[in-house]
Amino acid sequence: MAEILNQIVQVGGTTAMQKPTAPSVLIEWMDAHQGRNGWHVAETPEKQIVGFQYFEPNKKLPIEACDIASFVRIGAVKMGIGTGLFEATKIAARNAGYRWINATIRADKKGGLAYYASLGFEIWRLDCDVPLSDGTLVDRISKRFTL
């Protein structure tokens, strides 16, 4: 999963993350919020991970809402991977007690905006001029999916 994420970060422009992430950091993320988070992976028949998605609580959201993040291996987008992952995420988020899911996407990330719209997410908030770690200002669109 770190390999997929780091390739996306290296290409740039599609995630707010700008620095590589070590596998140990992903393990820490998984261990945080036990019972209130969930992780799903998509694999090929040969067991190669081609995408992953997770949800977790966010202090900036009400307790009945969680954040979602989705990552698909470069070259494997538009193959139904994200849609399949979201089917599992919806069930798990509901079972964790959430009533809605928030996705916050860079306004210049057309693919991510289209992906979440195709799943039924609707815009509920816009944050302008949010600084990335390098100081670059980007707008962020938050979309909501009611479970």
pLDDT tens digits along 72-81: 988 766 678 9
Report the predicted TM-score, pTM, of the whole model to 2 decimal places: 0.89
Query: What's the CA gap between 69 and 47, in Å, rounded?
Result: 22
pLDDT number for residue 38: 95
Q: What is the mean pLDDT of the chain?
A: 90
Helix (H) or strand (E) holding 105: strand 100-106
At residue 137, the 3 state secondary structure works out as strand
Three state DSSP letters for 37-49: CEEEEEECCCCCE
For residue 88, with 0-12 CB atoms within 10 Å meaning exposed, 13-18 middle and 19 or more buried, which class applies? middle
Give the C-alpha separation, 142 to 74, whole Å. Answer: 24
**CATH class for the region spanning 2-146:** alpha beta
* 54-100 confidence digits (pLDDT tens): 999 999 999 999 999 999 988 766 678 999 999 999 999 999 999 99
For residue 13, give both structure tokens.
Answer: 């422009």
Q: Are strands 65-72 and 49-56 parallel, antiparallel or unpaired?
A: antiparallel
Q: What is the pLDDT of residue 12?
A: 64
